[in-house]
A and B are shown apart, each in its own frame.
Chain A
Amino acid sequence: MDSTIIAQMAALQPFLAIASAFVLPLLGLVVKERALWESFTLTIVTANFCLSALLVYNLYTSFTQPLIYAFGAWPPPIGIVYEVDRASALMGLLITGLVLTATVFSLSYMRHDTGLQYYYTLLLGLEAGMLGCVYTGDAFNLFVMLEVMSISSYGLVAFRRHIPEAVEAAIKYAMVGAIATTVYFIALIFAYGTFGTLNMADLALKLRGSTLPVTGPPLGNVFLGSAIFLALVFWSFSLKAAIVPNHFWLPDAYPAAPSPFAALSSGIAVKVAIFVMIRYLFTIFGGAPLAIPIVQALNYALIALGVASAIVGSTLILLQRDIKRLIAYGTILNMGYIAMGMGLGNQSGLTAALFHLVNHGIGKSLLFMAAGAIIHVAGTRDLDELAGVGKKMPLTSTAFLIGALALAGAPPLNGFMSKLLLFTAYLETGWLAPLVVVIVITSVLALMGYFKAFYHVYARQPVRDISLIKEAPRSMVAPLLVLAGLCIVLGLIAPLFVDGVISPAVSSLFDHQGYASAAQTFAQTIFRGGR
């Protein structure tokens, strides 16, 4: 198929999500049927999933260069462009797939809540923001989409307004998140003042001496400007990605929030932030002679902070009595692993990081949704009171066990395979090999934490009357079983998956030449009068 049609598929997804997010409250004024809102959202989310599946299929089989879509046919760097390469398409598929499972899960989970038209609005806004962040090729558009994602998140945390804990958590999260996006805005100011442009491909080109049409050479000191820009971007996105010491908002925001949101935010929204960091550090600024010292310094910082995140996450996971807080600290641990993989800066490290990103997204969503199903049926989050509830919910407990084993790293599930790649990458570097001991210690601690949760939920005899507990509704169990099956399948076909899906994505992330020249040829074609 023609590349412009495929590129339109990429641009259509966030547009569809945000347009329906605007339409839904208006629809809610007219029609008060909850079933209509649910089917509307489900249709949009499924359409997005099919579009991103087609996008991934086409990008992996037919095209080698990133696809460009120019909004309003304004060429870069004048207009806003979406530049989708294989890694972006893979992230897009992950996002839309997980949003689909979360929406199906929400059908029964949110049954007893009111104001659902706003819930689905915020969910669609979250999806739109995340898709925009991964597909965009323009730094300012990234800021806008980041804000869309963040504001939807704040709203979703505070959704159950009658619980004071939720409102407090949302206020804290909103303040911290607003500081993060403001700092990113300041970084954009520095970038614009130095380079004179905000298009990502143009930034990549100007660092290496050439430029897109219309704009001229960089305005200021490129070395200084890119150093400040990268440092501020690093700080801001490490806050969104919950890397120590910017992680404090995460364990507070999830327990009171609805479980589908916790699954999405912890499963994919923090990954979007770290993906954007990968995009800046590897594709745009990676390999440019002027930026090498700063990228190297940030890589070392990533390794150090990854180790700190792993230690903090794994030690605190043992202390938690609240099942959702326990799983939330597990997220901090795994984001530490992903940061450790990224910080190595080479092909094998980034392969391990990207594979772990995909696996952790699936496993963490599974865990949060399984915990949500258990909490929905049992009515409490405390581990001591949840004792023995899992015995009456066999399917949910199996899904929870598979998710816990996958994230703790039990062979042959997918989490073990990605951790194995991470170990291998660290052993390859030679002098960083003692950090393998840190990974082993934190893995054992995490295993103990997940085991504790499984013991209380499933193996323990009940301490209160659980005769009214029964299996969760079918529309809550179905996404759990799909995700659990995906964990097992991804683990079994791991060699094929890594070679066929992850490695091309990693090569496209390192391919700054292809990324920049795709935009350059696109702009030059338009300026010469072509289409």
Chain B
Amino acid sequence: MMSLLASVLEATFVITLVLVILLIAYGLSVRATRAVMRSSEEKRRPFACGELLRPSETGVPDASMYWAIWRKLFRSLYNTLRDKIHTGVLSDWLFWMIIFMAVLVIALVVMMVWAY
């Protein structure tokens, strides 16, 4: 068996090979369909089920992407993370830092008692 990183490079070689083959096939397909192509503006517009769609409306706003994740699946996790922990108030940050320090000190004491 070869080294892991060498097998990644082999995989890259195979992928490049397949890429070349399919690009050649794409070129052949374009050549074969050249006779069929008729230039027309209407069929090149984005498909909107017959409605008028301005280019600025074709994008999806940021809040609608992945809505299923933060509104349904991880809803409680995100509510806790966003509203209770990451408030942005400096004294809350210091609270978490002190908690961490306290946990470290307690773990230290426990470990030393156990090691002795």
Contact = CB atoms under 8 A, between A and B. Distances in A.
Q: Do chains A and B touch in the complex (CB under 8 A)?
A: yes
Contact of A315 (B12, B61, B78): B78
A245 B11 contact: no
B100 A246 contact: yes
B90 A172 contact: yes
A495 B6 contact: yes
Given A227-B111, A245-B100, A316-B81, A456 B56 contact: no
Contacts of B86: 248, 316
B90 A175 contact: yes
23 contacts: A223-B112, A227-B112, A228-B108, A231-B104, A231-B105, A235-B100, A245-B99, A246-B97, A246-B100, A248-B93, A249-B93, A301-B104, A315-B74, A315-B78, A316-B81, A316-B86, A388-B59, A412-B8, A420-B5, A424-B4, A452-B65, A462-B55, A463-B56
B56 A248 contact: no
A373 interface: no
B9 interface: yes
A448 interface: yes
Contacts of B93: 172, 176, 248-249
Contacts of B92: 248
B58 interface: yes
B111 A294 contact: yes
Closest 10 CB pairs of A and B: A460-B59, A495-B5, A248-B93, A245-B96, A461-B55, A463-B56, A412-B12, A461-B58, A293-B115, A383-B62
B54 to A, nearest CB: 9
Interface of B: 3-6, 8-9, 11-12, 55-56, 58-63, 65-66, 69-70, 74, 77-78, 81-82, 86, 88, 90, 92-94, 96-97, 99-101, 104-105, 107-108, 111-112, 114-115
Contacts of A234: 104
Contacts of A318: 66, 69-70
Nearest to A456: B62
Nearest to A386: B62
A319 B96 CA distance: 22
Contacts of A249: 93
A252 interface: yes
B104 A417 contact: no
B112 A319 contact: no
Nearest to A180: B97
A456 B59 CA distance: 8
B56 A462 contact: yes
A438 to B, nearest CB: 14
B104 A235 contact: yes
Given A293-B115, A420-B4, 11 more contacts: A176-B93, A179-B97, A227-B108, A293-B114, A294-B111, A318-B69, A417-B5, A420-B8, A452-B62, A460-B58, A463-B56
A227 B107 CA distance: 11
Interface string A242-268: 000110110010000000000000000
Given A227-B111, A228-B108, A321 B81 contact: no
A452 B82 CA distance: 19
B71 to A, nearest CB: 11
Given A235-B101, A252-B88, A297 B82 contact: no
Given A248-B96, A463-B59, A417 B74 contact: no
B53 to A, nearest CB: 10
A383 B6 CA distance: 39
B82 A319 contact: yes
Given A235-B104, A315-B77, A461-B56, A492 B62 contact: no
Interface in A410-452: 411-412, 416-417, 420, 424, 448, 452
Contacts of B60: 460
Contact of B97 (A245, A297, A417, A455): A245
A456 B74 CA distance: 23
A462 B58 CA distance: 9
Given A417-B5, A452-B62, A411 B11 contact: yes
A344 interface: no
A452 B66 contact: yes
Contacts of A183: 101
A387 interface: yes
A384 interface: yes
A95 B56 CA distance: 43
B5 A498 contact: yes
Nearest to A460: B59
Contacts of A420: 4-5, 8
